[in-house]
Amino acid sequence: MKQARPITITGGRLVLPDGVREGAIRLVDGRIAALGDIEGEEGDEIVQARGRLITPGLVDYGVFAVDKPAFHFGGITRAALMPDQSPPLDLPSRVAYIAKSGKPDLWVHPLAAATRGLEGESLAEAALMREAGARGIATGRRWIGDTGVMLRLLTYAAMLDLPVVAHAEDGALAGDAVATAGEMATRLGLPSAPAEAETLAIARDLALAEMAGARIHFRQVTTRGGLSLIRAAKAKGLAVTAGVTPAHFMLSDLAIATFRSFMRLSPPLRPEDDRQAVIEAIADGTVDVVSSGHDPRGVEDKRLPFADAEPGMAGAETLLAMLLTLERDGAIDMARVFDLCASAPARLLGVEAGALVEGYEADIAIIDPDKPWIVDRRKMEASAGNTPFDGQPTQGRVIALFKGGVAVGL
């Protein structure tokens, strides 16, 4: 589906890499043709933004399921899919299928499985999967415990110039834990693991990445100690990036007090000091990406005792609204909001998207940042409504969305 005729979106506020300013944007043949103080040309379709934000479409880095209606609701035009599928994305044919699956109104960028069956033992054929469309290599939901395998993976990835997306949690320490060791876990009697399960995993993988000269992305870094390691590695010049999901800057482990399984996440919710550390790291640039961690789980996985429930949350629809809370609180500005959820993940994927730049693909959202709404699991577009933000009043909604210059129905 190609753009039929040029579109000029006018009367809005452009969210540019260096700030927000009034202006218009013109989309031609699926690309951004011009932006700024411009007017539509004869024959253009004119779209009135009416003072709202004109932004890049969101790029969601590291989802576990593709829910097209939920992604469109959240303003997501591209998503990097984790290899934890059934079957896993450990063969070129599976990667190629996924790479074509969402088009034309959503582009899915598969991340190749690091090891066969995601078992952490034998390396998968990353070179062939790169040719099939993989934009990175991921260890999946689990940490690779074998240091030799991880070093070989990082060395292989460096040769292919692909980033490795790592799960930052020492599996031997984490075990079957569902909470972070501390006061809350003790009071509730829940299996717990120390925060050091994250820091030890990060420390080892940073050392291996430096040895291999590889690019490494930690999909979720959620503790003060882990973030300090990332900050130091960046200061040292290592090619490391870090991500987090909104749950870990919006919620602390106080949220698990009711045993509601929607709060059962991986990694588990952390104490308040770690939550504050995540906000600080987002503000100072230590955290590069905020992703939804979209992982909808049905009642068969969630309507269970807290310790027996599967981790995961339906996050695509709430990603933008939760990020906008940081902007309203003054922690970050609007340009930084869209660097976190669009520009930076697009750079990780190596695609010309995620920013309002001439020549980039015309993945555009019109957003009302002040529009109020209440998160309601019963009304969500996702295949399951297991959101930890159920019932929470919030602000910020996508009013219109364009993928490659073509309007997407919301």
Distance between CA 163 and CA 131 in Å, rounded? 15
* pLDDT tens digits, one per residue of 131-151: 999 999 999 999 999 999 999
Cα separation, 28 vs 292, whole angstroms: 30
Evaluate if residue 1 carries a pLDDT over 90. no
pLDDT of residue 383: 86
Burial of 214 (0-12, 13-18, 19+ CB in 10 A): buried
Q: Give pLDDT, residue 409.
A: 79
pLDDT in tens, 236-283: 999 999 999 999 999 999 999 999 999 999 999 999 999 999 999 999
Report pLDDT digits (tens) over 16-28: 999 999 999 999 9
* Count of positions (residues) in the chain: 410
* Average confidence (pLDDT) over 175-195: 96
Average pLDDT in the 399-404 region?
A: 97
Q: Where are the domains of the chain?
A: 57-352
> Is the pLDDT reported for residue 225 higher than 90?
yes
Mean pLDDT of 332-361: 97
Q: How many Cα atoms within 13 Å fall on the side-chain side of residue 280? A: 15
The correct CATH number of 57-352 out of 2.40.30.260, 3.30.530.20, 3.40.50.300, 3.20.20.140 is 3.20.20.140
pLDDT category of residue 385 using cuts at 50, 70 and 90: confident
**Three-state DSSP class for 352?**
coil
Q: Which residues are 218's β-sheet partners?
A: 166, 242
Mean pLDDT value across the chain: 96
Percent above pLDDT 70 for the chain = 100
Helices (H) then strands (E): counts for the chain: 14, 19
Strand partners, 164: 137, 216
> With contact defined as beta carbons under 8 Å apart, do 289 and 272 qualify?
no
Residue 30 structure tokens: 């699926």
Percent of the chain predicted with pLDDT > 90: 95
pTM of the shown model? 0.95
Predicted pLDDT of residue 242: 98
Confidence of residue 373 (pLDDT cuts 50, 70, 90): very high
Per-residue pLDDT at 211 exceeds 90: yes
Per-residue tokens: 42: 């004869």
Q: How confident is the model at residue 103 (pLDDT cuts 50, 70, 90)?
A: confident
Q: Is the pLDDT of residue 224 over 80?
A: yes
Quickly state the pLDDT bin for 102 (edges 50, 70, 90). confident
